[in-house]
Structure 1
């Protein structure tokens, strides 16, 4: 453990050179010493810090050049602050993104935190940012969303975590760190139409979506919700001014992850990660600013940088385990070339892809290429735009760019965002991009090793966890990365290599070797006998499950389905049951003999199991169609209260 800690500390002490400016301008770089001569004397005390956080939105703001957005308050904030042109969340969904924001540690370093709606164990060594700030004398409040994807108790880390939390409640003389989460633009808010300034005929429909009334309505509603969110931000800033606190408060505005339109949130395209970020530093605290008022920074930043930034603002270096860099303050780091993202289970749907972006180009690696992008997801599919997209697919009314969403994935994707903002032209085989692709491949590999990416561990496995996964005997990351890449490439020449690994003493190696055989399709039959033995007798339930799924690609598919049904009935864990249902979904009509076992799980108290089982039951019974209620509404209301598809409560001021 000490050697690993030392290696991390050495790695984190390195500084990268200035990243290139992209996406329409030169990068603005202001190293900490560049403004030293112009700095006034440091004021006494500590600045207040205000975070205004919106939900689920891309930069559909005037400040980012959107021609139909009406966002006067945030546009004004950007003009007097610093706007980050290429800001990204580290996950395309709120809970996993928030884990990194809270801890300064990538969610995929502390499995199962990279899975949506998980409950990862947060080791006590990984303190949260309110704990650091409270130790420094801050009054820390959060109003009111947590959603941290881990077992931290919000009541312990915050002075006040409630709908009524407010800076006015702090003890006299204390600086505050205040987080206000505005749910106005949350995914659920496009489940119904929001009238406003923007009309359906005003919007631009992305090239990957069909031009349907439902898509246009959801897009216009999204714009109108963003205008409402902007008005809320204006009220928050007015309250700060009215309380006489504006000159002492550094203000951040950001959105917690990318947008909510189809193929945005939950997916590894640019729309899933690209966010808003602007920071206003009042004149009194300009010595902490990264650039003069009105500046635009084009080098990529991501939310893993937020905790180091907070620590720098209070005069502290980041902790050795943090991989981000401070954007402001005395410990501000040099610009990075890349921002990284991770996408794993979203609700009831498993996926596994990693991505890297420099602002202009995005590289995506799909480790589960047999999983289609457009498999219905219970929550998202409440949106009429998703339903209309699927109906158009079923009716064969889509062009190839629009229909690709419903197909299985390539191993790699590469897009030029400057010429293809909608990412419909995959340039992975373009010789003119070979050098850039190779550089981004290598950067992603180095990043995954550096952060000890837990993505190759199936959910629920004993190797999960920040410290457990650093045991290379239990989790041989380098070997698994190579094996998973060979698997996803679907190269029949690797069959013998996979067969040899079926006897490996590490079950994760066997797991990925079996997956490699499965992806070879008809060639998987050459290992049929070995797969039968593994499905029935391997000591690891994860290998048994993967082998049963692989058998579905062979003449022994009936044995594969039977073994998957056994996992459903035995109920070893919710995670294994959900993985078994996912395998049965991939098997399609072959899964029909398992229908009784699948149907029983529609009564599960676990939301993901309920939704996945309900979907597959409907498919196998022939009653599924776009708009089918994948989350039984009465079940949902009984468990969660009558919320789905209803307006979120407004923020308090």
Structure 2
């Protein structure tokens, strides 16, 4: 489908009818299928702690067999270290950053008319498309109109006779929620290795062991589904993918742009009948870095369908049409109730990370994962001063840039960004990341809740000056007081994006922005954008009398837009002393938006002196 071509809503009846028509036009037996079936077996929050990836504690015979009979992708990555933005890419073939606010966790982006979902493209070609059962696509897709069948009973068995199928089965067995209580099994706490960045506590060891045991349970479920496929006589006509929707579930994995948050297992088995789709031999390992946004293009290639021009992925290497590649890109934005902004690139050997919010620590409190004992143990040890410098680093402000040697430093704790020996590599990876962000029109710099969160606006350099924003943001994260005058000038710019990032630059300077305090105060009263007012007010809490900016943040915590309210609560969380805003924070504890509620509940506990890491904040 050419870019810009619109396809209207497709009903369930139309989807089923297309599959039935295709079946009537061709042979009805599996052996006579003209196109392969495609099966996606998805595991959640799952680093490749698998035998086929060399994990010595793994008990994963089903996935290991799949890899032995197919292709194993050594360096496969999700586009985001959390499910919803990652699943947006899997269903649309586009990176979530290209369609704001899809890059923010649990947002609802409006898809452009041409962005037809993968199952609908396949249904138009006669495929029966079933999804069992998770969606979480971060956009306005209607699952009932997207799939031939959707839900816990969705199955390839319901297809019309002779129709090829595209079936998805999602396994929540390894989801982080499964670590909120221990899972006993063959891997014991004393068996595991604790990464260098975590404290070695009984709770941390128990959760790591539980994760291994959950993976073993998941593998058995994968094995049962493969056995079902074989018993139905469909294995020789079905291309099978196993992959995880994002990286791991343990602390500093999910939500974070280290390998632990983005690195996924990915195996693809192509049966002999369809070997002409392969350019590698079964059993080979592919070392090219790939991302999950490549999967939709791979599926369309295998189904013999054209790949739409707007797709940002390509068929996987090792398969027909899958050229080699050098770089895999990813990033994170708001995760649950906390704001951060990170972009990253890897070649599989090194990872470069750019932190666009270096004034925020890695260790922001998240209500949902803090139900895990390992998270509680880590923060408790930090508060008690029991961490070594490597473990304590997580609770401090971030550098603007990070660079890690993934082979020599798999835990990614030794930042090489300032080492002269890596200057050329750092410069090359910077250039690659910049070029990528420009090529996809990354919506990173649009403040959440802005009217610019629209695909057409995001593509328009006049409305969304991405190049200017990237240059400005680079100055912000340098945190050089010499840039303060430029930030002050930017506060009067016509573009909301430039004003927002100028305010962010002053906020990142903190006390060093004090000479601009009077001008910032004057601008605060004239600013029309509530998102810019939040950033300016927080900046002012660091450079002058806090009463007026704290009052402004308290007022904005009751704004009509839930994301402005959330930004205000986050700003109050990091203001030097927000005790005068306690009444507004306590009112926000009753907010109808769940993220606002949990952020406010945490802050209220902190301000009242009642917070402990083991206190449940999530509702």
TM-score scaled by length of structure 2? 0.94
Asked whether 1:578 is paired with 2:569, we answer no
User: Distance in 1 between the 2:32 and 2:524 partners?
Assistant: 67
User: Distance in 2 between the 1:75 and 1:5 partners?
Assistant: 42
User: Distance in 1 between the 2:32 and 2:427 partners?
Assistant: 48
Asked whether 1:595 is paired with 2:582, we answer yes
Residue 44 (structure 1) shift? 5.7
* Contact 1:288/1:328 (<8 A) preserved: no
The structure 1 residue matched to 2:602, chosen from 605, 612, 615, is: 615
Bigger shift: 171-180 or 491-500?
491-500
* Contact 2:33/2:162 (<8 A) preserved: no
Q: May I ask how many residue pairs the two structures share in their alignment?
A: 593
User: Distance in 2 between the 1:330 and 1:443 partners?
Assistant: 25
SS of equivalent to 1:364: strand
Residue 375 (structure 1) shift? 1.2
The structure 1 residue matched to 2:591, chosen from 604, 615, 618, is: 604
Give a deviation string over 1:496-545, Cα, whole Å, max 9, x none.
22122222111211111121122112221111112112222212222222
Match of 2:407 in 1: 418
The structure 2 residue matched to 1:514, chosen from 503, 520, 540, is: 503
Asked whether 1:194 is paired with 2:176, we answer no
User: Distance in 2 between the 1:44 and 1:212 partners?
Assistant: 55
Residue 400 (structure 1) shift? 0.6
Match of 2:54 in 1: 65
Match of 1:468 in 2: 457
SS of equivalent to 1:409: coil
User: Distance in 2 between the 1:196 and 1:332 partners?
Assistant: 43
Give a deviation string over 1:611-641, Cα, whole Å, max 9, x none.
000000000000001111112xxxx3xxxxx
Residue 289 (structure 1) shift? 1.8
User: Distance in 2 between the 1:411 and 1:433 partners?
Assistant: 16
User: Distance in 1 between the 2:142 and 2:198 partners?
Assistant: 41
Once the two structures are superposed, the pairs formed by residues 42-441 of structure 1 within 5 Å of their partners are 45-327=34-316, 332-441=321-430
Give a deviation string over 1:189-213, Cα, whole Å, max 9, x none.
0000000010000111000000000
* Contact 2:278/2:319 (<8 A) preserved: no
* Contact 2:279/2:319 (<8 A) preserved: no
Match of 1:545 in 2: 534
SS of equivalent to 1:467: helix
User: Distance in 2 between the 1:290 and 1:575 partners?
Assistant: 47
Residue 170 (structure 1) shift? 0.8
Match of 2:11 in 1: none
Residue 43 (structure 1) shift? 7.8
Give a deviation string over 1:117-171, Cα, whole Å, max 9, x none.
1111112210111011001110000000101111110000100001011111111
Give a deviation string over 1:232-258, Cα, whole Å, max 9, x none.
000000000000000000000001100
* Contact 2:45/2:246 (<8 A) preserved: yes
Question: Gaps (5+ residues) in structure 1?
Answer: 7-41, 637-653
* Contact 1:287/1:329 (<8 A) preserved: no
SS of equivalent to 2:575: helix
> Structure 2 vs 1, CA of residues 78 and 476 (structure 1 numbering), >3 Å: closer, same or farther?
same
Give a deviation string over 1:25-81, Cα, whole Å, max 9, x none.
xxxxxxxxxxxxxxxxx9861000000000001000000000111101110111010
- Aligned structure 1 segments of 4 or more residues deviating by more than 6 angstroms: none
* Contact 2:132/2:151 (<8 A) preserved: yes
User: Distance in 2 between the 1:341 and 1:372 partners?
Assistant: 20
* Contact 1:316/1:331 (<8 A) preserved: no
* Contact 2:71/2:318 (<8 A) preserved: no
SS of equivalent to 1:53: strand
User: Distance in 1 between the 2:212 and 2:318 partners?
Assistant: 34
Match of 1:32 in 2: none
User: Distance in 1 between the 2:560 and 2:541 partners?
Assistant: 21
User: Distance in 2 between the 1:290 and 1:270 partners?
Assistant: 28
SS of equivalent to 1:142: strand
User: Distance in 1 between the 2:170 and 2:509 partners?
Assistant: 46
* Contact 2:500/2:535 (<8 A) preserved: yes
> Structure 2 vs 1, CA of residues 290 and 614 (structure 1 numbering), >3 Å: closer, same or farther?
farther
* Contact 1:317/1:331 (<8 A) preserved: no
User: Distance in 1 between the 2:386 and 2:312 partners?
Assistant: 46
User: Distance in 1 between the 2:504 and 2:319 partners?
Assistant: 48
User: Distance in 2 between the 1:125 and 1:252 partners?
Assistant: 27
* Contact 2:4/2:113 (<8 A) preserved: no
* Contact 1:536/1:563 (<8 A) preserved: no
TM-score scaled by length of structure 1? 0.89
User: Distance in 2 between the 1:285 and 1:152 partners?
Assistant: 32
SS of equivalent to 2:40: strand
* Contact 2:132/2:154 (<8 A) preserved: yes
Residue 290 (structure 1) shift? 3.6
> Structure 2 vs 1, CA of residues 414 and 43 (structure 1 numbering), >3 Å: closer, same or farther?
farther
Residue 556 (structure 1) shift? 2.9
Bigger shift: 355-364 or 503-512?
503-512
